[in-house]
Amino acid sequence: MRRGKLTSFNFWYFVLFTAALYLPILLLIVFSFNDAQALIFPLQGFTTRWYGEMVRSTELVGSVWHSIVMGVLSSLAATILGTMAAIGVVRYKFPGRGLFVAVAAMPLVIPYVVLAVAMLLLFSQLNIPLSLWTVGLGHVIINIPLVLLIVAARLIGMEKNLEEAAMDLGATYWSTLLRVTLPIAFPAMVAAFLTSFTTSFDEFALAFFLIGPEPTLPVYIYSQLRFPSRLPIVVTMASVIMVASVLMIVFSEYVRHWGSAPARSRSEGAP
């Protein structure tokens, strides 16, 4: 396969795109070490005291814990439901499959604010009190399409004769699913779980409308922006979140490609 030649335009386009994407994150990290409450240049000095105050803030630590627990539970539920949907869509032909995929993918195109208002009205009509559970349900809904797309892409690249061979050797459908299909799709499932967790942990619109007395981290950070004295701590926490999110996304992509590499090597080595 012939590779394209790197041109000056491509190089500078990549540099500008990378700068626009990561420069705000870099500024957050820089200001988190600034020894002043004002986020302006020149910096007043180097300090790590904002990180210490961030750790000692019980409300902030509690909101982080809420986001982690809710993110893990909602991502786990979305991964299970999305994987089931992906297996059904990829492996079976049934009436209304196209409509099912379209409906399942709707949360990807509906603005989160609109979805949050709709769910708020629904919970109000059903007299369901707002809490972390209502936020978690909203995050499950928006993460199922992500899991469906990621896992379905892995299953599409999987050779069907592996499952057929297992059944020809006497394995039942469920045994084939547990011992052949899911192990091959597992790297994609891990990548989908990590992507869902990152989305749930950082999501604000749904959490803002559906949260109860226990705020998630994005909602707590938004509430602290009104107080100038709390701004450095908010910036510090935001920088930690951004770095952790980038690392998690990079790791999920590594896991996804790691899972698809053996399949590519087998297909390339096949006569």
Classify residue 5 by its DSSP letter. P
- Tell me the pTM: 0.74
Nearest to 150 by CA among 193, 188, 200, 105: 188
Q: How do residues 212-249 score in pLDDT, each as one tens digit?
A: 888 888 888 888 777 777 778 888 887 887 777 778 77
Whether the CB-CB separation of 165 and 182 falls below 8 Å is answered with no
DSSP output for 117-146: HHHHHHHHHTTPPPSHHHHHHHHHHHHHHH
* Domains defined for the chain, CATH in brackets: 58-269 (1.10.3720.10)
- φ, ψ of residue 39 in degrees (nearest 5): -95, 70
Contacts of 194 (CB under 8 A, 6+ apart): 75, 248, 249, 251, 252, 255
Give residue-wise pLDDT tens across range 12-67.
888 888 888 778 778 878 887 877 777 767 777 787 888 887 888 888 888 888 98
pLDDT of 151 > 70? The answer is: yes
Evaluated on CA atoms 63, 69, 71, 73, the torsion sign reads negative
Token couple for 84: 């089931």
What is the per-residue pLDDT for 267?
46
Query: What's the confidence (pLDDT) of residue 271?
Result: 45
* Higher local confidence (pLDDT), 168 or 174: 174
Q: What is the pLDDT of residue 22?
A: 79
